[in-house]
Copies of this chain bind each other. A is one copy, B any other.
Amino acid sequence: MRNDNKDDKNKDTNTKDTRGIQSPKSDLGNWYSEILVKSGFIDYSDVSGCIILRPSSLFAWDVLKNYVDAQFKKLGIEDVYFPLFIPEKYLKKEEEHFSGFKAEVAWVTHGGDSKLDERLAVRPTSETIMYVSYAKWIRSWRDLPLRYNQWNNVVRWEFKHPMPFIRGREFLWNEGHDVFATEAEALAERDKILGIYEKALKEYLALPSIKGQKSDKEKFAGAVASYSLEMIMPDGWAIQGPDFHYDGQNFAKSFDIKFLDKDEEIKFVYQNTYAITTRVLGVMVATHSDEKGLVIPPKIAQVQIVIIPILGRDNEKVLKEAQNIKRDIEKSFRVVIDDREGYTPGYKFNEWELKGVPLRIEIGPRDIASGSVVVVRRDNGKKESIEISRLNDAISRILEEMHNSLFDKALKFLNEHITMVESYDEFKKVLSEKGGFIQAGWCGSVECEDKIKEETGAKITNIPFEHKGLSEHCVYCGRKAKFMPNFARSY
Number of copies: 2
Is residue A1 within 8 Å, beta carbon to beta carbon, of the partner chain?
no
Closest to A103 in B: B112
Contact assessment for B107 and A157 in the assembled complex, using a CB-CB cutoff below 8 Å:
no
Is residue A83 within 8 Å, beta carbon to beta carbon, of the partner chain?
yes
Once A43-B133, A110-B109, A136-B13 are accepted as A-B contacts, the answer to whether A55 and B83 lie under 8 Å apart by CB is no
Contact assessment for A170 and B84 in the assembled complex, using a CB-CB cutoff below 8 Å:
yes
Once A87-B47, A133-B45 are accepted as A-B contacts, the answer to whether A79 and B102 lie under 8 Å apart by CB is no
Q: Min CB distance, A295 to chain B, in Å? A: 21
Once bound together, how far apart are the Cα atoms of A46 and B55, in whole Å?
Answer: 36
Partner of A59, one of B79, B133, B139: B79
A: number of interface residues (CB 8 Å): 61
Is residue A80 within 8 Å, beta carbon to beta carbon, of the partner chain?
yes
| Interface stretch of the complex, out of A147-155, A244-252, A413-421 | A147-155
Is residue A129 within 8 Å, beta carbon to beta carbon, of the partner chain?
yes
Is residue A54 within 8 Å, beta carbon to beta carbon, of the partner chain?
yes
Partner of A90, one of B46, B62, B139: B46
Contact assessment for B45 and A58 in the assembled complex, using a CB-CB cutoff below 8 Å:
no
Q: Which residues of B contact A172 (CB under 8 A)?
A: 81
Contact assessment for A47 and B83 in the assembled complex, using a CB-CB cutoff below 8 Å:
yes
Q: Which residues of B contact A152 (CB under 8 A)?
A: 153
Q: Which residues of B contact A103 (CB under 8 A)?
A: 112-113
Partner of A52, one of B52, B55, B83, B104: B83
Is residue A78 within 8 Å, beta carbon to beta carbon, of the partner chain?
yes
Q: Which residues of B contact A142 (CB under 8 A)?
A: 340
Partner of A102, one of B112, B120, B139: B112
Known pairs A55-B79, A58-B80 / 16 extra A-B pairs, C-beta < 8 Å = A14-B136, A15-B137, A43-B133, A47-B83, A55-B148, A58-B79, A59-B78, A62-B79, A84-B153, A105-B111, A106-B111, A107-B110, A109-B109, A111-B159, A112-B157, A114-B159
